[in-house]
Amino acid sequence: MRRRASPQGRHRMNTMLLHFISLPSSAQIALWAASGCACAALVHLLLRKLAPDHVTQKQSDEVGVIIAVVGIFYGLIIAALLVRAINHFDASSDIVEHEAELAGSLYRMSAQGLPTARQPVKDNLLAYLDAVVSREWPLQQKGEEVPAGSPELGRLSRALAAVRPADRREAEYLSLAQNQLNGLYASRHARLSDQAMTIPLDIWWVSLIGEVLLIFFAWLMHVPSKAVHFFLTCAMAASISIVLAIILIYDTPFYGDISVSPEPYRKTLRAIRADSLDG
């Protein structure tokens, strides 16, 4: 029977992955490129014993056809993964901007139509945005768990529930404000759930195996100059690894130096503190 990885093993792997993706993007790309070159060198050492030179020269044309076919399908897979990773990054940016916009809109509604709730709404929104920027965001960047609940939003919800509209106009504003608060809750949960990678681990294994296969076929090609052959194969391996590094960087939108910015929260925070109704 297939043994499952222990919780300690999974935690160790997750910790190692978090440390890696928290590195600067330039360091990640350099390490990926170096690993590609190391893989090319390792495959070369294995093939020196398994595939004599006269065999590789005889089969060079056939190997070229195989490389072309495998390369096309592998390129399509990598392109699809890159598009998916970039879409994940863009979606995370949109979620952050939407959450900040909802907070600003909720404050404007309370300031314009709910005079009795304006100050408690303002205080709790300021506390919430400050908590997101100063407490939750660093936790997300470290890959640590952020509590799904928010005491600040809980107090804000109770403040709105305590409002007794004086007229029809206030009742309409209260209904709109409660809808905005529900949207803020939903956007918050979307941000927290969007922290995970969208590309499954199995797909990563397929991508890495595909890279090894292309390196294997590249070494089977006959190139008169061994130095040129080695350089071309390492260049191909490094290029594939760099693309995989970019995919990983964009599929982890809250880690490293290339990540979603918390600036929308800061902008809304400044606008609410200044009692601005334009932001």
**DSSP 8-state symbol, 115:** T
Q: Name the residue ranges covered by the structural domains of the chain.
A: 33-273
What integer pLDDT is reported at residue 7 of this predicted model?
39
| pLDDT per position as a tens digit, 81-122 | 999 999 999 999 999 999 999 999 999 999 988 888 899 999
C-beta separation of 242 from 18 below 8 A: no
pTM of the model: 0.82
More confident site: 152 or 224: 152
What integer pLDDT is reported at residue 33 of this predicted model?
95
What integer pLDDT is reported at residue 186 of this predicted model?
95
Asked if residue 3 has pLDDT above 50, the reply is no
What integer pLDDT is reported at residue 53 of this predicted model?
61
Average pLDDT over residues 17-28: 83
| pLDDT per position as a tens digit, 29-70 | 999 999 999 999 999 888 877 766 655 566 677 778 888 888
Joined together, the tokens standing for residue 116 give: 């009795």
CB atoms within 10 A of CB 118: 16
Query: How far does Cα 70 stand from its chain's mean position?
Result: 28
What lies within 8 Å, CB to CB, of 26 at 6+ separation is: none
Going by pLDDT thresholds of 50, 70 and 90, the confidence category of residue 2 is: very low
What integer pLDDT is reported at residue 147 of this predicted model?
87
What integer pLDDT is reported at residue 201 of this predicted model?
87
Residue position matching structure tokens 């897979």: 77
What integer pLDDT is reported at residue 222 of this predicted model?
79
Scanning the chain, the segments in alpha helix (DSSP H) are 7-21, 25-50, 53-58, 60-113, 118-131, 137-142, 151-161, 168-193, 201-220, 226-250, 263-273
What integer pLDDT is reported at residue 198 of this predicted model?
86
| pLDDT per position as a tens digit, 115-140 | 888 999 999 999 999 999 999 998 88
Average pLDDT over residues 220-230: 85
What integer pLDDT is reported at residue 139 of this predicted model?
86
What integer pLDDT is reported at residue 184 of this predicted model?
95
| pLDDT per position as a tens digit, 147-185 | 888 999 999 999 999 989 888 998 999 999 999 999 999
SS in 3 state form for 128-152? Answer: HHHHHHHHHHHHHHHCCCCCCCCHH
